[in-house]
Amino acid sequence: MSKTYLQMQVYWVNLDPTKGSETKKHRPCLIVQSSLLNRNSSTIIVAPILPGHKEWPFVVNIMPTKKNQLDKNRHVNLKQLRAVDVSRITKQLGVIEGKYRDHINQKLAFIFNL
């Protein structure tokens, strides 16, 4: 049986190999793709979660909690979305709290000029 990935879950994802300015390394990432599309899909759209808080128009700052299992203040870089093969997705950390969902959707709308 294949794993079902749910939108707003946080997983460790191996982003290497990369080219140029793409986010590198094995990092926590947010599942951005809808849960419905994730069923039986061999690729999932994720956004890397990077250290520190930033005041950029394409990021959402996240505080660590027991629910999301992040280790420190981080930001979701929604400008670095990428589709990854499910074989790159490893251990689940947690789930991003609902209070961040609207902010994430607003930033995605900004990035795609929706």
Kindly list the structural domains of the chain, giving each domain's residue range(s) and its CATH number in brackets, ordered by start: 9-112 (2.30.30.110)
- Rounded to two decimals, the pTM is 0.92
Residue written as token pair 């899909």: 41
> Cα(40)–Cα(5) distance, rounded to whole angstroms?
10
Q: What is the pLDDT of residues 54-88, one digit of tens each?
A: 999 999 999 999 999 999 999 999 999 999 999 99
Residue 1 has pLDDT above 60, yes or no: no
What integer pLDDT is reported at residue 71 of this predicted model?
A: 95
